[in-house]
Amino acid sequence: MGQSSSSHSLSPAGSTHNHQRSITRSFTSSSARSEILGFRYSKEEASFDFPDATTSFIDYTSEIPDDCLAVVFKFLGAGDRKRCSLVSRRWLLVEGQSRNRLAIDANSGLIPFIPSIFSRFDSVTKLSLRCDRRSVSIDDNGLIMISLRCLNLTRLKLRGCREITDVGMAALAENCKGLKKFSCGSCMFGAKGMNALLDKCSSLEELSVKRLRGINDGVTAEPIGPGAAAKSLKTVCLKELYNGQFFGPLISGAKNLKTLKLLRCLGDWDSLMEMIAVPENSLVEVHLERLQVSDIGLSALSNCSKLEILHIVKTPDCTNVGVISIASQCKYLRKLHIDGWKTNRIGNEALIAIAKNSANLQELVLIGVNPSSISLEAIATNCQKLERLALCGSETIADTEISCIASKCVALKKLCIKGCPVSDEGIEAFAWGCPNLVKIKVKKCRNVTYEVGDWLRARRGSLVVNLDVCAVEAEAMDASASDNGVQEDMEITHVAVAQPHPLATSNSVRGSIFKTRFGLFGARGIVTSTFRRILQNISSTRMCTIKPVPSRDPEKYLKHMTPNTVEKALSFIPLSEAPTTNKLRSKAWTPTPSTSKLLLHSKETTRTLKSSQMDTQAQGTRN
């Protein structure tokens, strides 16, 4: 490679050009940049850290084509690209022209800088505009300015841009007709802006809409159709929409739609399912999560004979009937996720139908479903291609069912068991079963210990065993600590009560006000602490201890006290908490037979109380 020499000088001290100051710093800051540019200096100049105006250097990258340099930049992260842009004007230009992806904080202060930003980054095709909900976002003028400078935009993501209206969306659609992916969340434009986008962007392939506030008015909102994107649209995702049914014409009119995701949208969706699920539909993937859809909608969805991926998550109106209709007609199912939400409306009948009809099933996730050994054995026997299996929150999956899976699921590669009554005996079955198993994860199974994990790793060295039983052990430790640590809490309470209250100062007053406000905003702060102190003081007077009061429902324990006991406890409350005292007096506390169960004798508390009584008697004798 040839070498060309050139000379550069430092910028003047009073220069106002930011880029030139950045470039000057890049020349004078580090030895790494001098290696890149090939600085040459004599022995006399070696003692100087910064080159002077007459310093000459050789740029070894001068003969590298800009396209090759741009390819190198693509392998660097965002921070390294920024540093490289400070090396020289050429690198600054190449880095800006080769950057295709850009994420910008889209608050209102961005508008004056839009021309300079997109003059440097004039090749952006993927743009993300995000605005914090505590800030004011860019408006229609800002979006129009961006769209005029990004004519080749193919992907656009808007998050929290609440100042953008239908006018700005119409201008965006007019200027950026090559959009292929559009995603918006927490925006305020309505159906007119969405229809303008779909009418102009004939190449749109993916559409994701989340919390679009502009279509909340069901009276004035117009239906949203596919427009010019009827043939190109392949993926539609709707999340947390109030009137998501207005997208019905769009979903039914997209002839080549492959993926449909409906997540946490209000309203009845059975009628929409009947409208979109026609035999000629090309749907391959459907996600239904926290949706008001019943067996009617699932039966209509079964007409999509090409369906391969189905997620039914927390849809309480879906039962065995709907799942059976899906399994009997959708023969190409590869991935099935069912979260029954522990309603027991999807069970053995549906799983047996899946086992009989879904021979191509590769991934099965069951959450909150209680299958029996019969249905699991049918799945293990008939679904020979099953590679990934997850069983979570099931009360009927025990060692027998796990042993059946280990012996018959030959193709299984990944297994997850969470919150099931499985013991070490069931996990030991995988030492010989499932020869293709690569990873097993067991979480929140109380009867599974770490020893079986170590033993299984020793038996199968290549198997990744992930046992997460820390949560269960932590709960047990917390429970034991709550029983054994009461005495310590009581001793600390006695010390606090015996000490006189210090005189109020400005700092203490401000601190008490802050604590009071913090407790009120915390919803349980002052009331919970008062209840806990009440029970502790009562226990000291009765020479016994009381179980710790849960912070979630302290009044539940106080209902077991008699009115006299509560009145005695009120004497321990400071005058600053008089509102709480009045609140307690207004309660109608009634004694119950379980009062005695709440009281546990404590030797340490009794000993502490006796010593305090002896001190009081001795003081009275001296007086």
In this structure, what token pair is assigned to residue 152? 């080749």
Residue 593 pLDDT exceeds 70: no
pLDDT digits (tens, 9 = 90+) for 251-281: 999 999 999 999 999 999 999 999 988 888 8
The Cα–Cα gap between 513 and 503 comes to 15
Higher pLDDT, 195 or 41: 195
Average pLDDT, the chain: 77
84-98, 284-298, 603-617: which has the minimum mean pLDDT? Answer: 603-617
pLDDT at residue 455, rounded to an integer: 94
Q: Comparing C-alpha atoms, which of 492, 507, 525, 505 is closest to residue 608? A: 492
What 3-state class would DSSP assign to 449? coil
pLDDT digits (tens, 9 = 90+) for 334-363: 999 999 998 999 999 999 999 999 999 999
* Domains of the chain in sequence order: 5-97 (no CATH), 100-254 (3.80.10.10), 531-622 (no CATH)
The Cα–Cα gap between 206 and 129 comes to 17
Q: Comparing C-alpha atoms, which of 47, 50, 38 is closest to residue 88? A: 38
Q: What is the 3-state secondary structure (H, E, C) of 238-263?
A: EECCCCHHHHHHHHHHCCCCCEEEEE
Burial of 404 by CB count in 10 Å (0-12 exposed, 13-18 middle, 19+ buried)? buried
The Cα–Cα gap between 543 and 603 comes to 9
Q: Which H or E run includes 235?
A: strand 235-239
- Fill in the amino acid letter for 393: G
Polymer length in residues for the chain: 623
Higher pLDDT, 570 or 146: 146
Phi, psi (deg, nearest 5) at residue 171: -65, -40
Residue 202 pLDDT exceeds 80: yes
Report if pTM > 0.75: no
Q: Comparing C-alpha atoms, which of 74, 62, 64, 126 is closest to residue 98? A: 74
Burial of 131 by CB count in 10 Å (0-12 exposed, 13-18 middle, 19+ buried)? buried
Q: Comparing C-alpha atoms, which of 391, 432, 442, 439 is closest to residue 412? A: 439
pLDDT digits (tens, 9 = 90+) for 489-531: 333 333 333 333 333 333 333 343 333 333 334 444 444 555 5
Residue 104 pLDDT exceeds 50: yes
Q: Print burial letters for 589-611: b (CB count within 10 Å at least 16), e (below 16).
A: beeeeeeeebbeebeebeebbee
The Cα–Cα gap between 308 and 326 comes to 11
166-170, 234-238, 463-467, 488-492: which has the minimum mean pLDDT? Answer: 488-492
CB 176 within 8 A of CB 150: yes
- Fill in the amino acid letter for 497: V
Query: What is the DSSP secondary structure assignment for residue 345, as one 8-state letter?
Result: -
Q: Comparing C-alpha atoms, which of 598, 592, 590 is closest to residue 542? A: 598
Here the contacts of 309-312 (C-beta below 8 Å, separation 24 or greater) are 309/284, 309/285, 309/333, 309/334, 309/335, 309/336, 310/285, 310/286, 310/335, 310/336, 310/337, 311/286, 311/287, 311/337, 312/288, 312/337, 312/338, 312/339, 312/346
The Cα–Cα gap between 115 and 118 comes to 6
pLDDT digits (tens, 9 = 90+) for 456-469: 999 999 999 999 87
Cβ neighbours, 10 Å, residue 466: 11
Residue 547 pLDDT exceeds 70: no
Higher pLDDT, 143 or 10: 143
Higher pLDDT, 408 or 583: 408
Residue 141 pLDDT exceeds 50: yes
16-20, 153-157, 350-354, 417-421: which has the minimum mean pLDDT? Answer: 16-20
pLDDT at residue 57, rounded to an integer: 67
